[in-house]
A and B are shown apart, each in its own frame.
Chain A
């Protein structure tokens, strides 16, 4: 900065003609580039480099402790034939789709509820955040215990109510296990959706609801014709993030099931970790991770179109 200020003073001095470099240093359009440089350096160092490295490794036969050599698409060809890989793709899509949809529905419902006037509003809002605050591994361990084959509190309660005769094998049965990890993910993800949507709800002018009341709208019509359309930009943001986080989820699964039983809950992220770090096949693991990129890009594209400023958002502000 000091550099720029000094040089602009120097440039005004007619003693010597400013060189192209001098002019570049004070040019208004280039100024932006100078200011962005530090941020760009960080992004390149901490985001682009690891990403590039990961993709590069996926084209090698690197193992832990051995750099590996370029082998082209061989890792991907292997994966194409690998039924476990395809199972993990299916699991990831199922996990992401079901969990995100339910998180959206429950989150929106909670946000609408918390936006109403009611006693202890502040406390209730804080309570909703709890699942979000607890460290993932801790809550995963809690769920692991809750869903334990022998000591599950759910099984215990149901048995005492005479609803079942044997413990449910929550994490040992394919469908139960999938249901349980999805449930845990929803439990963790709902606060984020609910609180963000609540913030969005609070930006809607109260007088719009009054106008709608006078126009004769019922509660449902107000939601349908005013709240929901005004909330769509925020919904697009929050659901993009929710989908990205869910798709790349690792901790919950690893702490609860490690991908079992028989790979029924293996997500692409957990499979990649297992192949790369546990089994030491870095190249193959990197290929699995890289295979997530097209899916993530697709999700981002969808939200990109969802996020575009709607026509009604153009122009001067309304107030």
Chain B
């Protein structure tokens, strides 16, 4: 196992710059998730770690070694691809044994390693099948088996679950996490799905347009997003944003769209009248007499909770309640944001304003 250090890494395809200086340090044994919208450069970064793309600028280290010019096979990494990339003409066992075979490992050792990996992943009964004879989830497992057999320094995953159906995805999520707890191999995992990132990661790297927006533990990102992008990206349903001005003199507050008064625990210093964005997560609304008046538009119960879409100061917001209210479209309710859980962002830069 090894740490991975990415220092000011840049990547350009021809004249198009797609990664603009990314710095991330990944500790030995850590499970790090790179998350961001499609096209932000997550795969490119991962492929640079793997050695499938060369590095335009900066430096990547695996352990102590700078690997910028080290060919993939000498980096001692294993990668799981989104489409699994299983060799269609080889059995499951041969797929998993392929790297060992190339290395010229003795047959007994190869068999033992393949069997152990098959045991861990429950692939024992499938060893003689061909990839085409497997379901999506089974193929996914074989792809992981192929990585495990190598016993590498670092596992790299590129959206490994996005070809699976929703239910299987949740199951595999847990399985991958368990696997990591068991093997404790340093892992870099790429996904566009923030739920996957939140549930699996020790540390999340949020990327956007080739830069890192924020690095932190899942709860850090949820509780203290450093900017409006991260705030909107992490959490589901997404955070509500309302534009307006901060009221700092007297008791702190926020004047939202159409003069709606919203509560604020404390205003940032020297911010009276400053235009800002007020962020509040759907789950941080309560119904209270001193809340702001809103009109219900749509009610979507999911059983465990109810999502309510409502017009607040003319803007649509989402609120989520665990308790069961009897709401009908057109009803007037008083929605109150929890002042302790409000986020304020600069209107221009999107930077976080409150502590």
A residues neighboring B (CB under 8 Å): 205, 207-208, 210-217, 221, 225-226, 229-230, 310-319
Contact = CB atoms under 8 A, between A and B. Distances in A.
A213 B132 contact: no
Contact of B102 (A207, A215, A315, A318): A215
Range of interface residues on B (Cβ < 8 Å): 20 to 34
Given A214-B72, A317-B132, A310 B89 contact: yes
A208 B85 contact: yes
Nearest to B71: A213
B175 to A, nearest CB: 21
Contact of A221 (B102, B130, B139): B102
Contacts of B89: 229-230, 310, 312
Contacts of A216: 72-73, 99, 102-103
Interface in B67-86: 72-73, 77-79, 81, 83, 85-86
A210 B98 contact: no
B131 interface: yes
Interface string B120-160: 00000000001111000001000000100010000000000
A214 B81 CA distance: 11
B87 interface: yes
A47 B73 CA distance: 56
Contacts of B132: 312-318
B50 interface: yes
A314 B87 contact: no
Contact of B86 (A221, A311, A314, A318): A318
B76 to A, nearest CB: 10
A215 B130 contact: no
Contacts of A212: 87, 98
Contacts of B273: none
B85 A210 contact: yes
A114 to B, nearest CB: 23
B52 A312 contact: no
A227 to B, nearest CB: 11
B73 A215 contact: yes
A144 B110 CA distance: 59
B127 to A, nearest CB: 14
B292 interface: no
B85 A211 contact: yes
B159 to A, nearest CB: 12
B98 A207 contact: no
Nearest to A213: B72
Interface in B57-109: 72-73, 77-79, 81, 83, 85-90, 98-99, 102-103
B83 A205 contact: yes
Nearest to B52: A210
A315 B134 CA distance: 8
Contact of B73 (A213, A311, A315): A213
* Closest CB pairs A-B (n = 10): A315-B132, A216-B73, A215-B99, A207-B85, A211-B85, A312-B130, A315-B133, A312-B89, A229-B89, A216-B102
